[in-house]
Chains A and B, each alone.
Chain A
Amino acid sequence: MMGRARVYETPAGVEFDLFRRGEILRRRLFFDEIVLVTYHRSRGVLALVVLGLLALGGVALAVAVGRQVLEGGLIVLGTAALPFLVLFLVQLTLGVHTVTVFGRRTMARAVFSWRPGRARGLYERLRSRVAEAQAEAPTGARSLW
């Protein structure tokens, strides 16, 4: 379940807008119903494979052109291979950072590809807000209605 997400904080909870195949799915989790928040880092294999293949294609094209005209090969290398190679290395270095929130009735996940600081910030923010909300809530059972 990879994909972009936009996260909104409301006074009572947090809303995730998940961008999935041409649709936006909205998930709402109330702070007093959240049972677990997790944070993890992964490599983002799919992005690495795609970027790697594009970089390889660019290099192959540059070699093919460079055999005929050396300057042309260098231009192709700089424009068609280098950007993907840089993106590949950045992706490899930064990885993909994921924050997952589990509630009583549903869960939501936000994936951050290029901004690890935001993922960490969201995790810390959610931890503190949920702890605050559940400390404020009256002890004992809460009515369903």
Chain B
Amino acid sequence: MTVPSIRPRHRAVTYEGPACPRCRHPFEGDGLPTGATVCPRCRGAFEATAFAPAPLEPPRIALAGPGDVPCGIHEGNTATRDCGRCGIFLCPVCAVGEGDKVLCPTCFGRLVAEGHLGRTAFPDYGARASGAAALCFLFCVPGGLLLGPVALYYGIQGLRQPKESRSGVLGPVLAILLGAVALLWSGFTFASLLFWGLD
């Protein structure tokens, strides 16, 4: 059985908490700034509003006794749930999700890798189509033969993309029109050269 690899699609960037919005220098000392503030490092001004969310408390776990069902991952902990996908017993430390959507970390990672859980990155076909169309406009002949189909492909993909994960409709539509014109114009120019020559 092949196990799908869990490979992040983006470079991991460590988030180290609130920082100056201009230079990203982390705030030092006690508390976060509120009101009109000047960063001590870059001297840039900004407005800030700090909040104090309720602190998170660690999950309550119980050690597994003789009659308790132990967690499949942490043998010393009593299991309180089971994975909704593979059925492994889980303690509160390793249960991911809440309600009826509890998963073990392995199943959660696999579903994320396969794209079955909420995705956080989508291809922006609208921007790609607009870029290809702009290049078509600049390098219509001879670029239209190559860039025209690219603009058409990305434009069609942009229109087919679900509404909640696309950047707009105007870009793909214009890209399709421009790509088609560039392809036809470039093709016509090449056909003319091929059949009638430079004369």
A interface residue numbers (CB < 8 A to B) = 4, 6, 17, 19, 22-27, 32-40, 42, 98, 100, 102, 104-107, 109, 123, 127, 130-131, 134, 137-145
Contacts and interface: CB of A to CB of B under 8 A. Distances in A.
Contact of A130 (B21, B48, B51): B51
Given A22-B131, A100-B21, A142-B56, A35 B120 contact: no
B121 A23 contact: yes
B1 to A, nearest CB: 31
Given A22-B127, A27-B120, A106 B15 contact: yes
Interface stretch (B39-47, B69-77, B138-146, B183-191): B39-47
Say what secondary structure dominates the interface of chain B.
loop
Contacts of B116: none
B4 interface: no
B197 interface: no
B124 A22 contact: yes
A97 B111 CA distance: 38
Interface of B: 10, 15, 17-19, 21-22, 32-33, 44-59, 92, 95, 98, 119-124, 127-128, 131, 165-167
Nearest to B96: A145
14 contacts: A4-B167, A23-B124, A35-B51, A35-B52, A37-B51, A38-B49, A39-B47, A40-B47, A107-B15, A131-B51, A142-B56, A143-B57, A145-B59, A145-B95
A22 B165 CA distance: 12
B18 A140 contact: no
B54 A32 contact: yes
Contacts of B53: 32-35, 104, 134, 137, 142
Contacts of A19: 124, 127, 167
A141 B51 contact: no
Contact of B50 (A36, A40, A141): A36
Contact of B54 (A38, A131, A141): A141
